[in-house]
Amino acid sequence: MARAGGITNAVNVGIAVQADWENREFISHISLNVRRLFDFLVQFEATTKSKLASLNEKLDVLERRLELLEVQVGNASANPSLFAT
């Protein structure tokens, strides 16, 4: 065999290749969309995380302020006489 090539049953191979193209179109369509779903999830997670982070930050500030107020109230109610006029 001097040369390579020479598909033995060219017509059949041609038909199979054609069918293969079509099948793979379906497969790649599905797989791409699955990847898109995955991408969406990743991105969704990221966004949610940063939204939670900003919420957390606000809560932190509130918490600290509340703590302060609590101390002040506790302090004040421990000495009721000061507020009796």
Partner 1 sequence: MAVPVEEAIAALSTFSLEDEQPEVQGPGVWVSTERGATESPIEYCDVAAYRLSLSEDTKALNQLSSLTQEGKEMASVLYTYRSCVKALPQLPDSMKQSQADLYLETYQVLDLEMSRLREIQRWQASASSKLATDMQRFSRPERRINGPTISHLWSMLKLFDVLVQLDHLKNAKASIPNDFSWYKRTFTQVSGQWQDTDSMREELDDLQIFLSTRWAILLNLHVEMFRVNNVEDILQVLIVFAVESLELDFALLFPERHILLRVLPVLVVLVTSSEKDSESLYKRVKINRLINIFKNEAVIPAFPDLHLSPAAIMKELSTYFPKFSSQTRLLTLAAPHELPPREAQEYPLNYTYQRHYLIVNHIGAVRAEHDDFTIRFASAMNQLLLLKSTDGSDVDWSKEVKGNMYDMIVEGFQLLSRWTARIWEQCAWKFSRPCKDASPSFSDYEKVVRYNYSAEERKALVELVSCIKSVGSMMQRCDTLVADALWETIHAEVQDFVQNTLASMLRTTFRKKKDLSRILSDMRTLSADWMANTNKSESELQSSQHGGEESKANIFYPRAVAPTAAQVHCLQFLIYEVVSGGNLRRPGGLFGNSGSEVPVNDLKQLETFFYKLGFFLHILDYSVTVATLTDLGFLWFREFYLESSRVIQFPIECSLPWMLVDCVLESPNSGLLESVLMPFDIYNDSAQQALVLLKQRFLYDEIEAEVDHCFDIFVARLCETIFTYYKSWAASELLDPTFLFASENAEKYAVQPMRLNMLLKMTRVKLLGRMINLRSLITERINKIFRENIEFLFDRFECQDLCAIVELEKLLDVLKHSHELLSIDLSVDSFSLMLNEMQENISLVSFSSRLASQIWSEMQSDFLPNFILCNTTQRFIRSSKTVPVQKPSIPSAKPSFYCGTQDLNSAHQSFARLHSGFFGIPHMFSIVRLLGSRSLPWLIRALLDHISNKITLLEPMITGLQESMPKSIGLLPFDGGVTGCVRLVKEHLNWETKLELKAEVLHGIKEIGSVLYWMGLLDIVLRETDTMNFMQTAPWLGLLPGADGQILPSQDGGDSPVVSLFKSTAAAMVSYPGCPSPASFHIMSKQAEAADLLYKANLNTGSVLEYALAFTSAALDKYCSKWSAAPKTGFIDITISKDFYRIYSGLQIGYLEESAQVQSSSPERLGDSVAWGGCTIIYLLGQQLHFELFDFSYQILNIAEVEAASVVQTQKNSHFAVQGWEALLEATKKARRLNNHVFSMLKARCPLEEKTACAIKQSGAPLHRIRFENTVSAFETLPQKGA
Q: Helices in 1-85 by DSSP H: which ranges? A: 10-78
Phi/psi at 20 (nearest 5 deg)? -60, -45
One character per residue 3-42, x = contact with partner 1 (rule: CB under 8 A): xxxxxxxx--xx-xxx--xx-xx--xxx-xx-xxxxxx-x
Contact 31, 37 (CB under 8 A): no
Smallest distance, partner 1 to C-beta of residue 63, A: 11
Distance of alpha carbon 19 from the chain centroid = 37
List interacting residues with partner 1 (CB under 8 A): 1-10, 13-14, 16-18, 21-22, 24-25, 28-30, 32-33, 35-40, 42-44, 46-47, 49-50, 53-54, 56-58, 60-61, 64-65, 68, 71-73, 75-76, 79, 82
